[in-house]
Structures are given as C-alpha cells and as structure tokens.
Amino acid sequence: MPGNPHDPLWYPDSGASHHLTAQSNNLSTKTPYTGSEKVFIGNGSRLPIHSIGTATYTDLSTHNTFSLTNLLHVPSISKNLLSVSRFSRDNCVFF
C-alpha cells in the first residue's frame, strides 16, 4: 500500500489458492491480467489483479530451487502470501 514500507518476507497461507505479491519485481515472468476476477481477502475486500507470472527461488543453504507458478501481482495486498497447497504441489514438497 502507498506509504507503507514493503515487507520482503513470504508468509505461508494454508487458505490461499494462489501466491500473492504487491511487488511486480517479485515476478520473473509476467503477463498483464485482463480478466475481471479479483482476489477476495479475509475482511471481505476485493482486490484487483494486475498481472500473473512466475518466480523461482534458490535456497542458499541447500541450493534447491523452488518455483512459484500462477503468482498474482496484487499491488494493494499488504503481505506476500505463499499458497501452501500450490507450493507443495508444484515443488513436490510438504510442510
């Protein structure tokens, strides 16, 4: 949100259907979103999706690379959310 410092951490969310980020630079690849769907959050608000993309992250201690697919760029979200189910499925891991 404007005026708020960006929190660079990712927060696992077992209720999230997609990964969400406010920062477009978190996406390695991105495509503008032209649909009409919005992200519903816990307080009932609907937030617009600006783009959809992917990202990869490498764990520096193990050198394992993890993928975030269908990552939604939602500029008005306050935290980066990691969908536990999507991350687990896409990377063949469990929490």
Catalytic residue, from 7, 13, 59, 90: name it: 13
- Catalytic residue at 13? yes
Cβ(4)–Cβ(78) under 8 Å? Answer: yes
Query: Phi first, then psi: what are they for 56, rounded to 5°?
Result: -130, 145
Q: Exposed, middle or buried: residue 11 (CB in 10 Å: 0-12, 13-18, 19+)? A: exposed
Backbone angles phi, psi at 94, to 5 degrees: -135, 160
> Do the beta carbons of residue 67 and residue 54 sit within 8 Å?
yes
Q: Active-site residue numbers?
A: 13
